[in-house]
């Protein structure tokens, strides 16, 4: 059994495996430009960002109904449970669906159905985080937040994702202020392909609690010091960094150096159907490639629960304490 862990950086759209893509395409009468799952699986072996984005957004065409989103999330949660995930804070991209004519309510209701059953069915507690696409306008993000208002009881926070360079955090100051005023928790992708200054801006201007990715902080020693001192969680995704060429090979990933620097790192899978592994696969990969030993894997698991949003009430705190006890009691042999 893999070590218990929380997954804090996971895009539900990035869990669409070829088999489910074909099943949903057949159900919805959507034609895919691939002969079969075999050919589609080969297309998943892209090696640059644009090819990935074309495939990623192209395949979303198969997601149309509440049942589709429910099935997608349920399939992820089953896989996650098998990888030792006990708690998942799941991203979704409403703008990518609304633009295709799928209402935000369909997306949220469908995902929620799977999430509400998850504890009982898979033993995985869940939260939902709504992301804004940063390459879309600030107005579009504000409209998305407005459209989500009837569903805020299902959403714990907001995030910011998609192509980073040229879209600094400050562009979304207003929508983050509005989200905070609604009681939503705040996270943002920063310092993946964008510069360390985007991380500082996400902290100071957007006032986020966690940085998604953030590996480029290593280029700015003062920022590293600040992140370590304030214990700002970083949700790293090492396999994603290799596939999207943020780094050349896993052996060059800064994770070990980041842990040495006292940063509060977590390890996550990002878009696991596309990046060659789910979260425990990632734990194994960093162990092999970077020599991350068992006690540091335990630290990563502990960090994942400590960085989670399981802190709103006594029930949350009790659940988190239970998970942390499982981490401490875990034996690697």
Active site residues: 192
If the CB atoms of residues 40 and 188 are measured against Zn ion, the closer one turns out to be 188
* Residue placing its CB nearer to Zn ion in the complex, 107 or 327: 107
The gap between the terminal CA atoms of the chain, to the nearest Å, is: 10
CB of 215 to Zn ion, least distance (A): 12
Closest distance of CB 87 from Zn ion, Å: 18
Q: Is 135 annotated as a binding residue?
A: no
Please give the size of the binding site for Zn ion, defined by CB under 5 A: 1
Rounded Cα gap, residues 41 and 158, in angstroms? 31
Query: For Zn ion, which is the closer residue by CB, 10 or 108?
Result: 10
Confirm if 227 and 265 have CB atoms less than 8 A apart.
no
**7 in contact with Zn ion (CB under 5 A):** no
| 48 belongs to an annotated ligand binding site | no
Report d(CA 317, CA 309) in Å as an integer: 10
Burial string for 46-75 (b: 16+ CB within 10 Å, else e) reads beeeeebeebbeebbbbbbebebbbbbbbb
Binding mask 226-265 for Zn ion (x = CB under 5 A): ----------------------------------------
CB of 293 to Zn ion, least distance (A): 27
270 marked ligand binding residue: yes
102 burial level (CB within 10 Å; 0-12, 13-18, 19+): buried
Cite the DSSP H helix spans in 205-261.
221-229, 238-243, 255-260
The residue nearest Zn ion at its CB is: 270
> Judged by CB under 5 A, which stretch of 61-69, 145-153, 266-274, 315-323 contacts Zn ion?
266-274
- Rg from Cα positions in the chain: 19
Q: Nearest approach, Cβ of 329 to Zn ion (angstroms)?
A: 31
Cβ count near 41 (within 10 Å): 14
Of residues 201 and 270, the one with the C-beta less far from Zn ion: 270
Q: Which stretch binds Zn ion (CB under 5 A): 19-27, 116-124, 171-179, 267-275?
A: 267-275
Name the strand (E) or helix (H) holding 203: helix 196-204
The minimum distance between CB 81 and Zn ion, in angstroms, equals 21
Toward Zn ion, which CB reaches closer, 93 or 270? 270
Which run of H or E residues covers position 132? Answer: strand 125-133
- Among 7, 71, 164, 270, contact with Zn ion (rule: CB under 5 A): 270
| Bridging pattern class, strands 234-236 and 210-213 | parallel
* Binding-site annotation, residues for substrate: 271
* Binding-site annotation, residues: 9, 11, 189, 270-271
Residues near Zn ion (CB under 5 A): 270
């Amino acid at each position: 059994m893999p070590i218990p862990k929380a997954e804090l950086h996971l895009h539900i759209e990035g869990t669409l495996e070829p088999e489910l893509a074909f099943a949903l395409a057949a159900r919805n009468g959507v034609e895919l430009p691939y002969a079969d799952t075999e050919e589609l699986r080969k297309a998943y072996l892209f090696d640059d960002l644009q090819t990935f984005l074309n495939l990623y957004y192209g395949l979303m065409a198969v997601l149309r109904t509440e049942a589709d989103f429910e099935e997608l999330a349920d399939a992820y949660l089953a896989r996650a449970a098998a990888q030792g995930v006990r708690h998942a804070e799941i991203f979704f991209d409403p703008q990518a669906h609304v633009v295709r004519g799928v209402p935000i309510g369909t997306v949220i209701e469908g995902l929620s159905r799977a999430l509400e059953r998850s504890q009982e069915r898979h033993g995985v507690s869940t939260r939902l985080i709504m992301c804004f696409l940063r390459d879309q306008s600030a107005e579009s993000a504000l409209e998305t937040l407005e459209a989500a208002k009837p569903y805020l009881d299902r959403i714990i926070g907001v995030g910011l994702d998609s192509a980073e360079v040229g879209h600094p955090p400050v562009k979304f100051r207003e929508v983050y202020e509005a989200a905070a005023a609604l009681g939503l928790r705040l996270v943002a992708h920063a310092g993946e392909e964008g510069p360390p200054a985007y991380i500082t801006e996400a902290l100071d201007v957007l006032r986020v609690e966690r940085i998604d990715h953030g590996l480029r902080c290593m280029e700015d020693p003062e920022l590293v010091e600040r992140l370590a001192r304030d214990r700002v969680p970083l949700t790293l995704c090492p396999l994603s960094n290799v596939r999207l060429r943020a780094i050349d090979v896993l052996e060059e990933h800064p994770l070990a150096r980041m842990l040495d620097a006292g940063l509060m790192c977590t390890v996550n899978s990002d878009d696991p159907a596309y990046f060659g592994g789910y979260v425990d696969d990632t734990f194994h990969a960093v162990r092999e490639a970077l020599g991350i030993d068992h006690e540091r894997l335990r630290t990563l698991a502990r960090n994942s629960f400590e960085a989670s949003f399981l802190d709103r009430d006594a029930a949350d705190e009790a659940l988190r304490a239970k998970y942390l006890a499982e981490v401490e009691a875990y034996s690697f042999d």
